[in-house]
Amino acid sequence: MTAVIQIEGLRKTFRTMRGGARVALNGFDMTVEAGQVHGFLGPNGSGKTTTLRTLLGLVRADGGHMSILGQPAPGALPEVAPRVGAIVESPQFFGNFTGRRTLRLLARAGGVPAERVEAVLTQVGLRHRGDERVKAYSLGMKQRLAVASALLKQPELLILDEPANGLDPAGIREMRDLMRELSAAGITVLVSSHILGEIQLICDHVTIISRGQRVATGPVSAVLSGFDKGEYRVRVTDLARAAEVLANAGLPVRKEEDHLVVADVGDSAWITEQLGQRGMWVSELTPLTPDLESVFLQLTGTMPEPGAPKQVDEAVKSGPIDLGEQP
Amino acid sequence: MNLVLAELSRLAARRFVQLMAVLLIAAFGVTVATTVAGSHRPTTAEWDQAEQEVQLAEVRLEQLRRECEQREVSATFCDAYLERQPRIEDYLFGVFVFSQEIDELTYFMIAFLALFAFLVAASFVGAELTSGGMTNLLLWRPQRLTVLGTKLGTVLAAVLALSVVASVLYIGAFYAISEVTGVPGALDGEFWADIALTVARGLGLVLFAAAVGFGAATIGRHTAAALGLIATYSIVWEIGARIVFEVVEAGRPDQYMLSSYIGAWMDGDVSFYDRYVNDQYELTWVHAAAVFAITLAVIVGGAFATFRHRDLA
């Protein structure tokens, strides 16, 4: 596979006029291969947007190496920019321009044929609203316009920072479908988002960043399986007796209010067999596979605790952990 | 070229620019209207009266010159009385005389155009830096100096074009007023050359103001930074430092003030009196050009240098 984005040892420290310093990126690494829909996750202030801004030449790195489409960044950005579509956070457009005019001006500035404007307006669902002023757009419509601007160039690489911001449920689903279409068309997509369920649905690969360092990377399935403890939820009438039986068999059992959680289960049929032999009939036997949200919270140390709100800088700071990077 | 056209469209579409253009037209309109309201075509009786006044004035001046020659050794000194002969329009009251009043009116126009240029240029880049519009543009054209240079070039060209058109219309309007309800006055070749030179210098000042506003807003990343610079400079230096110079009895304080050089630029030269050595000194348009060049190098050069390396939000 060809690396479309390669980031190695990226470092960035923001310094204030008063001599203060905040380390935003501390040796961050990321690789995005061609054709991937790559999710980029991290808590607030973890360095996601700084990474994307640095990659796109908006922020100067203090150290490290980056390349986009095989060209060094930011040095060769002017050459590769026509092949890269990007939105960073919520881009601002002129409120007095219509959506169509906004895109036409961008197309003109970037030397893109004017016909592309109608194509992308249709693609993002703004064809009939293109002649309205941007200031009359809802947040979701502005976001669609931003995505349209990124698609104008028919990019090989699409970088989207929080593209689902402000979108309604239908908009989120359309964005998901759009990204799948783009991926099917061979476009590599790097998308950062806080909507982890969406990332799990859309992305095939993921990189998780915490306090400026990579804490996990790899295929989504591999990242999730790294946290799969083989747990099952078991529901029976007599919880105490069932717990005793399973514990005696050497399985770690945790008793919840109305069910048991059993870990290290190799074959779920074994549970039904053991309990059935003792006259206990299982009403529910569900594998507890981790989702991206729980893995993310665990990896970044941002799992909320009752009565103790997590502060922004309380995310986990650890060395990079490779969770099943594909060969 | 595409970038220039795109920038021009953005400039023309800015609500602030449109508002300033309306204010510019309104200010000019009010000036024209008050001039029309305060002028009338002189009657025959007023003409006759003015002619008599001119004859009397000529006699008085000749008498003064003779008396001067009797007192002074140098006849050249006394010829000063003959430098400007009394004119009939000097004695027409309540009548707009184009040749006499257009100079001051042109200065007013240039002051307004300079303010317009400063604010428009500052907001053109300041608003884009604040809103993230510049970031958006750089994602399309990741060439910072090209993008900033195009933006500056576009706003300077637009301001210059608007100023040229406004100057022609403005001066033309007052000439028309003088023809219809006033007196054109003595309009020889020298007069038109002088007015053309004043306008040309004014246009230079307008471009200078635009470039300073643009540069200051770029360095400060906000339109307000340019306004802050002007307010701070005016209060701290033009007023505060002048008072300090007075207190410490420093000589020639005017030569440290930008306003002195603006005056020198517009008039060609200005003289100041240094009371501590009891002597006069002169600042010319050449000095002014040098000061403007240094100011531009610092502010606009600084803007490009910082913009090239800075992190953009």
Across the interface, of A53, A86, A96, the residue whose CB is closest to B13 is A96
**Would the CB atoms of B311 and A53 count as touching at under 8 Å?**
yes
Which H helix or E strand runs over A179? helix A169-184
Q: Which amino acid, one-letter code, is at A19?
A: G
Residue of B nearest to A113 (CA): B2
Contacts of A130 (CB under 8 A, 6+ apart): A98, A99, A100, A103, A121
Interface membership of A270 toward B (CB under 8 Å): no
Distance CA A234, CA A241 (A): 12
Query: How many whole angstroms separate alpha carbon A93 and alpha carbon A296?
Result: 33
Q: Is B140 on the interface with A (CB under 8 A)?
A: yes
Q: How far does B22 lie from chain A, in Å, by closest CA?
A: 17
B2 in contact with A at a CB cutoff of 8 Å?
A: yes
Beta-bridge mates of residue B274: B279
**Predicted local confidence at residue A314, as pLDDT:** 62
| Closest to B295 in 3D by CA, of B259, B251, B267 | B259
Question: Is B132 near chain A, with CB under 8 Å?
Answer: yes
Asked if the C-beta of A296 comes within 8 angstroms of chain B's C-beta atoms, the answer is no
Distance CA B218, CA B129 (A): 8
Chain A residues whose CB is inside 8 A of the B139 CB are: 56, 58, 81, 86-88
* CA quadruple B296, B299, B305, B308: dihedral, nearest 10: -110
**Taken in order A91, A96, A99, A105, is the CA torsion positive or negative?**
negative
Q: Is the dihedral of CA A46, A48, A53, A55 positive or negative?
A: positive
> Which residue on chain B is closest to A109 by alpha carbon?
B3
Instruction: Judge whether B253 and B245 are in contact, CB under 8 Å.
Output: yes
Asked if B251 reaches chain A (Cβ–Cβ under 8 Å), the answer is no
**Consecutive sets of 10 residues in chain B, 313 residues long: mean pLDDT of each?**
82 87 92 91 88 88 82 70 77 89 94 95 92 84 93 96 96 94 88 95 97 96 93 94 88 90 93 81 94 97 94 81
Distance between CA atoms of A6 and A29, rounded to whole angstroms?
8
Q: Minimal CA–CA distance to B36: which of B83, B100, B95? A: B95
Minimal-distance CA residue of chain A relative to B136? A91
Interface membership of B309 toward A (CB under 8 Å): yes
Closest-CA distance of chain A to residue B2, Å: 5
Q: How far is A97 from chain B (nearest CA, A)?
A: 7
Pairing of strands B279-284, B269-274: antiparallel
CA end-to-end span of chain A? 10
Give B29-45 as a 3 state SS string: HHHHHHHHHCCCCCCHH
- CB pair distance less than 8 Å for A96 and B311: no
Residue A284 has φ and ψ, to the nearest 5°, of -150, 135
Q: State the sign of the Cα–Cα–Cα–Cα dihedral A286, A287, A290, A291.
A: negative
Q: What is the pLDDT of residue A304?
A: 66
Distance CA A180, CA A78 (A): 28
Distances (CA, A) of B27 to A181, B21, B64, B201: 57, 10, 43, 21
Q: What was the pLDDT predicted at A90?
A: 67
φ, ψ for residue A72 (rounded to 5)?
-65, 140
**DSSP bridge partners of A21:** A15
Long-range CB contact pairs, A166-170, < 8 A, 24+: A166/A90, A166/A138, A166/A139, A166/A140, A166/A142, A167/A140, A167/A143, A168/A140
Contact call for B311 and A60, based on CB within 8 A? yes
Q: How many CB atoms lie within 10 A of CB B297?
A: 11
Q: Kindly state the helix (H) or strand (E) to which residue A261 belongs, with its residue range.
A: strand A260-262
A19 in contact with B at a CB cutoff of 8 Å?
Answer: no
Nearest to B135 by CA among A40, A166, A161: A161
Count how many Cα atoms sit within 13 Å of the Cα of residue A232 in the half-sphere of its side chain.
Answer: 21
Q: What type of residue sits at position B290?
A: A
Calculate how close chain B gets to A240, using CA atoms only, in Å. 58
CA distance B140 to chain A (A): 6
Eight-state DSSP code of residue A242: H
Q: Do A56 and B2 touch (CB under 8 A)?
A: no
Q: Does B10 touch chain A (CB under 8 A)?
A: yes
Q: Which of B2, B15, B139 sits opposite A96 (nearest CB)?
A: B15
Q: Whole-angstrom Cα distance, residue B187 to residue B192?
A: 7
B12 near A CB under 8 A: no
Q: How far is CA B211 from CA B40, B155, B183, in A?
A: 41, 9, 38
A57, A108, A149: residue with CB nearest B142? A57
Q: What are phi and psi of A256, to 5 degrees?
A: -100, -175
Tell me the shortest Cα–Cα distance from B9 to chain A, in angstroms: 8
Is the minimum CB–CB distance between A143 and chain B shorter than 8 Å? no
What DSSP string describes A54-69? HHTTSS--SEEEEEET
Q: With an 8 Å Cβ cutoff, is B232 touching chain A?
A: no
Angstrom distance (rounded) from CA A74 to CA A68: 9
* Residues with Cβ within 8 Å of residue B48, at least 6 apart in sequence: none
Instruction: Find the residue in A nearest to B11 (Cα).
Output: A94
Going by C-beta distance under 8 Å and a sequence separation of 6 or more, which residues neighbour residue B89?
A: B50, B95, B97, B99, B100, B183, B185, B186
Question: How many other β-carbons are positioned within 10 Å of the β-carbon of residue A182?
Answer: 19
> pTM value?
0.81
B136, B142, B309: residue with CB nearest A81: B142
Min Cα–Cα distance to chain B from A152, Å: 10
CA distances to A180, A219, B280, B281 from B272, in Å = 75, 78, 6, 5
Q: Could you count the other beta carbons within 10 Å of the beta carbon of residue B144?
A: 18
Q: What's the distance, Cα to Cα, between the start and end of chain B in Å? A: 27
Q: Which domains does chain A have, with CATH numbers?
A: 3-225 (3.40.50.300), 232-287 (3.30.70)
B14 close contact with A: CB closer than 8 A: yes
Task: Tell me the sheet residues that pair with A284.
Answer: A235
A72 to chain B, any CB pair closer than 8 A? The answer is no
pLDDT (tens place) for every residue of chain A, 327 residues total: 688 999 999 999 998 877 788 899 999 999 999 999 999 988 888 899 999 999 999 999 999 999 999 999 899 999 999 899 998 876 678 788 899 988 988 888 778 888 899 999 998 889 899 999 988 988 888 888 888 999 998 899 999 988 887 778 887 887 888 888 888 888 999 999 877 888 888 898 999 998 899 988 999 888 877 777 778 899 998 899 999 988 988 888 888 888 999 887 778 888 898 899 888 999 999 988 777 777 777 777 776 666 666 665 665 555 444 544 443
* B139 vs A: CB within 8 A: yes
Q: Which of A74, A97, A109 sits opposite B13 (nearest CB)?
A: A97
- Partner-chain residue, chosen from B6, B10, B132, that has the shortest CB–CB distance to A92: B132
B129, B130, B132, B134 alpha-carbon torsion, rounded to 10°: -10
Structure tokens at A179: 């990204």
Q: Are strands A284-287 and B269-274 parallel, antiparallel or unpaired?
A: unpaired
Query: Using an 8 Å Cβ cutoff, are A59 and A12 in contact?
Result: yes
- Cβ–Cβ below 8 Å for B141 and A78: yes
Q: In the structure encoding, which two tokens stand for residue A288, read together?
A: 């507890």
**CA B152 – CA A74 distance, rounded (Å):** 24
Question: A with B: how many residue pairs have Cβ under 8 Å apart?
Answer: 68
What chain A residue is nearest to B6 in terms of C-alpha separation? A105
The predicted pLDDT at position B93 comes to: 86
* Torsion angles phi and psi, residue B302, rounded to 5: -60, -40
Residues of B in contact with A16 (CB under 8 A): none
- The answer to whether the Cα torsion of B51, B52, B53, B55 is positive or negative is positive
B104 touches chain A (CB under 8 A): no
Sequence spans of domains, chain B: 2-41+95-309, 43-91
